């Protein structure tokens, strides 16, 4: 397949799929693939879930778009559901994770403006990724995604992820000018790195002492990915702002920024908006996805299957000379290799397994929350074969 009219922003594998069901995709020749990537954590309830398909068909025949100049019933229903699940008070809907994070950054700046902070600073993490708009790029780490886009916004202070002492040092040096801390509970693009145990509680306590907003980017971890509706639930904290997107509507574009009441009130009519954000189709599908996760008890499934995968991979890859670490939370698992490889995803696809490699050397697994036991076993068997010392050395040699 050629696509010469497309801008050269991706390096896709020479694969194209024509049909999907659950954790399986088929190409035009009829070859089956086990999808352990889930559209990068998007297809949370599996490809073409019949209830999602029915909701899309029904809503497409009723109403797709009216704009936010009018009330949207499904938007109110989704906001009520998300605030009840999260413990937060209000929602703003847009179309992507980057836009949700832009909303969070605007809330932080507004908070500083109302407090009279001349130049509000936001603390972000080394290894973070928050999106590809100019502001979210500035908040992200890594020269690769930022190269060539001019001057970076210097209103961000970067600290090592998981380092409480570094945050406390920021408080001593810049405390009066800092308005928020923004972080991912598990760094996804950064290599599937969970925050150390107790870190979120420490950040919450510091933000309370300093009067800062605690803002969590749960674009990848939210909506059940870690086995909880929100990753922060595992530590029993309540942030001030949370952002969501990927798994919320199973592939229909939507993003959400949730906030506690005192922070949400900072946005007033005309201060923020989105033409497509929160349209009837996206919000109805998101409501359906949340109901499916609840009714099919997929949070528990994500915990069980994720724990089994993590244990099995650690056992089967123990002592492997090319594997540095296996880590993760729920159905968000990373296998860090000792060397970078750009060929592993294509080698896996040849064998019928779809996965992703991030940070050059971390195999990332993000399967659907509906993953079955036999599918989890297939993932392990595929990976153990793919990462055998002989196979891995061949892949690394081809990557040179």
Residues known to be catalytic = 129, 217, 246
Q: pLDDT-derived band of residue 232, with 50, 70 and 90 as boundaries?
A: very high
Helix (H, G, I), strand (E, B) or coil at 204: helix
1 pLDDT higher than 60: no
Based on the domain organization, do 278 and 326 belong to the same domain?
no
Average pLDDT over residues 222-250: 98
Based on the domain organization, do 122 and 227 belong to the same domain?
yes
Based on the domain organization, do 255 and 139 belong to the same domain?
yes
Q: So what's the pLDDT on residue 142?
A: 79
Average pLDDT over residues 257-276: 97
Burial (CB count <10 Å: 0-12, 13-18, 19+), residue 18: exposed
Task: Provide CB contacts within 8 A for 31, sequence distance 6+.
Answer: 352
389 pLDDT higher than 80: no
Based on the domain organization, do 164 and 250 belong to the same domain?
yes
Q: So what's the pLDDT on residue 152?
A: 67
Average pLDDT over residues 50-68: 98
> What does the pLDDT look like over 291-345, one tens digit per residue?
999 999 999 999 999 999 999 999 999 999 999 999 999 999 999 999 988 789 9
Q: pLDDT-derived band of residue 374, with 50, 70 and 90 as boundaries?
A: very high
Q: pLDDT-derived band of residue 117, with 50, 70 and 90 as boundaries?
A: very high
Q: Is residue 250 part of a domain?
A: yes
Tell me the pLDDT of the chain averaged across its residues.
95
78 pLDDT higher than 70: yes
Helix (H, G, I), strand (E, B) or coil at 99: helix
Based on the domain organization, do 144 and 244 belong to the same domain?
yes
Q: So what's the pLDDT on residue 400?
A: 53
Q: How many CB atoms lie within 10 A of CB 174?
A: 12
> What does the pLDDT look like over 146-155, one tens digit per residue?
778 876 667 8
CATH of the domain at 341: 3.90.1150.10
Q: With contact defined as beta carbons under 8 Å apart, do 182 and 124 qualify?
A: yes
Q: So what's the pLDDT on residue 394?
A: 66
Based on the domain organization, do 290 and 305 belong to the same domain?
no
- 229 φ/ψ angles, rounded to the nearest 5 degrees: -55, -40
Average pLDDT over residues 11-30: 96
Average pLDDT over residues 153-159: 88
Q: Is residue 305 part of a domain?
A: yes
Q: Is residue 11 part of a domain?
A: no
> What does the pLDDT look like over 180-215, one tens digit per residue?
999 999 999 999 999 999 999 999 999 999 999 999
Q: Which of 260, 295, 330 is the C-terminal boundary of a domain?
A: 295
Q: With contact defined as beta carbons under 8 Å apart, do 216 and 188 qualify?
A: no
Average pLDDT over residues 89-110: 98
Q: With contact defined as beta carbons under 8 Å apart, do 235 and 201 qualify?
A: yes
Based on the domain organization, do 354 and 244 belong to the same domain?
no
Q: Is residue 6 part of a domain?
A: no
Based on the domain organization, do 66 and 180 belong to the same domain?
yes
Helix residue ranges per DSSP H, the chain: 38-41, 50-60, 73-86, 97-115, 134-139, 143-146, 164-174, 199-210, 261-264, 280-295, 298-316, 344-350, 373-386, 389-399
Is the pTM for the entire model greater than 0.85? yes
Q: Based on the structure, what is the number of domains in the chain?
A: 2
CA 172, distance to chain mean position in Å, is: 31
Q: What is the DSSP letter of 330?
A: T
282 pLDDT higher than 80: yes
Average pLDDT over residues 215-230: 98
Burial (CB count <10 Å: 0-12, 13-18, 19+), residue 262: exposed
Q: Is residue 121 part of a domain?
A: yes
Based on the domain organization, do 166 and 280 belong to the same domain?
yes
Q: Which of 239, 260, 295 is the C-terminal boundary of a domain?
A: 295
The torsion defined by the Cα of 184, 188, 193 and 197, in degrees rounded to 10, comes to 40
Q: Which domain holds residue 199?
A: 52-295
Q: Percentage of residues in the chain with pLDDT exceeding 90?
A: 90
Average pLDDT over residues 102-108: 97
CATH of the domain at 184: 3.40.640.10
Q: Is residue 1 part of a domain?
A: no
Based on the domain organization, do 390 and 275 belong to the same domain?
no
Based on the domain organization, do 151 and 127 belong to the same domain?
yes
Q: Which of 276, 295, 314 is the C-terminal boundary of a domain?
A: 295
Based on the domain organization, do 75 and 141 belong to the same domain?
yes
Q: With contact defined as beta carbons under 8 Å apart, do 333 and 310 qualify?
A: yes
Q: Sign of the C-alpha dihedral, residues 277, 283, 285, 287?
A: positive
Q: So what's the pLDDT on residue 175?
A: 84
Q: So what's the pLDDT on residue 144?
A: 74
395 pLDDT higher than 80: no
Q: Is residue 311 part of a domain?
A: yes
Q: Tokens for 161?
A: 């992820």
Q: So what's the pLDDT on residue 390?
A: 62
Please state, in angstroms and as integers, the Cα–Cα distance from residue 133 to each residue in 87, 139, 140, 369, 383, following that order.
28, 10, 10, 29, 34
62 pLDDT higher than 70: yes
Q: Is residue 2 part of a domain?
A: no
Q: What are residue 187's DSSP bridge partners?
A: 193
């Amino acid at each position: 397949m050629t696509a010469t009219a497309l801008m050269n922003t991706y390096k896709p594998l020479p694969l194209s799929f024509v049909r999907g069901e659950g954790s399986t995709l088929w190409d035009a020749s009829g070859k089956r693939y086990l999808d352990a990537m889930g559209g990068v954590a998007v297809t949370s309830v599996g490809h073409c879930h019949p209830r999602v398909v029915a909701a899309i068909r029904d809503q497409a025949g009723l109403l797709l778009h009216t704009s936010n100049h009018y009330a949207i019933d499904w938007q109110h229903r989704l906001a009520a559901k998300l605030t009840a699940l999260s413990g937060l008070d209000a929602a703003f809907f847009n179309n992507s994770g980057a836009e949700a994070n832009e909303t969070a950054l605007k809330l932080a700046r507004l908070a500083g403006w109302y407090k009279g902070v001349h130049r509000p600073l936001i603390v972000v993490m080394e290894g973070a990724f928050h999106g590809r708009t100019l502001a979210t790029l500035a908040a992200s780490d890594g020269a690769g995604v930022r190269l060539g886009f001019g001057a970076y916004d210097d209103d961000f202070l970067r600290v090592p992820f998981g380092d409480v002492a570094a945050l406390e040092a920021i408080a001593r040096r810049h405390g009066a000018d800092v308005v928020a801390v923004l972080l991912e509970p598990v760094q996804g693009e950064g290599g599937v790195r969970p925050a150390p145990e107790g870190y979120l509680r420490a950040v919450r306590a510091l933000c309370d002492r300093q009067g800062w907003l605690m803002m969590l980017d749960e674009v990848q971890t939210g909506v059940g990915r870690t086995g909880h509706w929100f990753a922060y639930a595992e530590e029993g904290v309540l942030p001030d702002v949370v952002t969501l997107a990927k798994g919320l509507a199973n592939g229909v574009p939507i993003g959400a920024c949730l906030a506690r009441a005192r922070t949400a009130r900072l946005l007033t009519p005309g201060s923020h908006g989105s033409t497509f954000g929160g349209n009837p189709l996206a919000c109805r599908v998101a409501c359906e996805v949340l109901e499916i996760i609840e009714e099919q008890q997929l949070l528990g499934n994500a915990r069980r299957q994720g724990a089994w995968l993590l244990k099995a991979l650690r056992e089967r890859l123990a002592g492997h000379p090319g594997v540095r670490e296996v880590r993760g939370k729920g159905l968000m698992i990373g296998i860090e290799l000792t060397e970078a490889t750009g060929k592993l995803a294509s080698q896996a696809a040849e064998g019928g397994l779809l996965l992703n490699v991030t940070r050059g050397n971390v195999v990332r697994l993000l399967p659907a929350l509906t993953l079955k036991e036999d599918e989890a076993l297939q993932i392990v068997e595929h990976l153990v074969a793919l990462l055998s010392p002989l196979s891995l050395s061949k892949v690394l040699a081809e990557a040179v």
